[in-house]
Amino acid sequence: MSLTDREQSEVEQANASGKQPVVFIHGLWLLSSSWDRWRRLFEANGYSTVAPGWPDDPETVAEARDHPEVFAHKMVQAVTDHYLDAIGRLNEKPAVVGHSFGGLIAQKIAGEGASAVTVAIDPAPGRGVLPLPASALKSGSPVLGNPANARRSVTLTFDEFKYGWANNLDEEEARQLYDEFHVAASGVPIFQAAVANLNPFSETKVDYKAENRGPILLISGEKDHTVPHAITHAAYKQHSKNTGVTEFVEIPGRGHSLVIDHGWEEVARTALDFIRKQGPAEHSG
């Protein structure tokens, strides 16, 4: 597995800048371009940024919609390894920010000791996270409702997106986000998460007790249907057994779209403030 030309170029630019790198990890149904506004904010605050895609992700939403089949079969560990590959090419240990399944992968990376500081936003549940609220089951039903989806890519209908992602938004903004950002996603990670607590070898396993985990912040959107408070807080309780800094913030009134909707900057600044406080000192080469 290797990085794309774009990903390698971003790593090289981060290394050349001499600035503290921040790696962004998106989840299902988004592309790395969903982080563009976050990256501009972090770069304006003295960081370099890298936002790899998942392996074989198309570069644009238009291309993704033309070829939804390319998203099938992407599993949690292979995606994690792709990000670890990118991180391993950086001159400095980065801060890592992830959303949804990206938030789960960010925690796995922290457990590997590969991140200096980590922010997991509405993270998908890893092994050991037990709550399964009804809204999470309903949000997952477009995938879990058909076992064949474990081998497919799945595109959400607008109504499914509205329930799982944009339940706290008005119809106009929900439609705009669906049109601008939504792409197909691999079905298999959702099946991996769903059966994680029955499988001691699950790829969703996080090393919560790793001594070199570094500081971690878990952010929960209060109104999230896909990853409700109970799931994110259960992950926080697992991490709290670690001697490293562990913090939890719930942002009122926010759903699963909190990293891309009109309130994205509040979430981004919450992450930025934690990284600035807990991460390595900012510097420039």
pLDDT per position as a tens digit, 79-91? 999 999 999 999 9
pLDDT at 228: 96
d(CA 113, CA 125): 20
Could you tell me the CA-to-CA distances from 178 to 29, 54, 78, 190, 260 in Å, in that order? 10, 20, 27, 20, 10
Percentage above 90 pLDDT, the chain: 91
At residue 2 the predicted structure's pLDDT band, cuts being 50, 70 and 90, is confident
Average pLDDT of the chain is 95
Instruction: Please give the structure tokens belonging to residue 127.
Output: 């092994």
Residue 281, pLDDT > 80, answer no
Residue 285, pLDDT > 60, answer no
Tell me what the mean pLDDT of segment 173-191 comes to.
Answer: 97
Q: pLDDT tens-digit profile of 202-245?
A: 999 999 999 999 999 999 999 999 999 999 999 999 999 999 99
| CATH numbers and ranges of domains, the chain | 5-278 (3.40.50.1820)
d(CA 215, CA 117): 5
pLDDT at 284: 44
Tell me what the mean pLDDT of segment 178-182 comes to.
Answer: 98
Residue 131, pLDDT > 80, answer yes
Q: Which residue has the tokens 């499988």?
A: 199
> Nearest-CA neighbor of 226 among 273, 166, 176?
166
Residue 282, pLDDT > 60, answer no
Contact present, 23 and 87 (Cβ < 8 Å): yes
At residue 28 the predicted structure's pLDDT band, cuts being 50, 70 and 90, is very high
3-state secondary structure of 249: strand
Give the pTM: 0.96
Burial class (CB in 10 A: 0-12, 13-18, 19+), 210: middle
pLDDT at 197: 85
Residue 133, pLDDT > 80, answer yes
pLDDT at 137: 86
Percentage above 70 pLDDT, the chain: 98
pLDDT at 1: 55
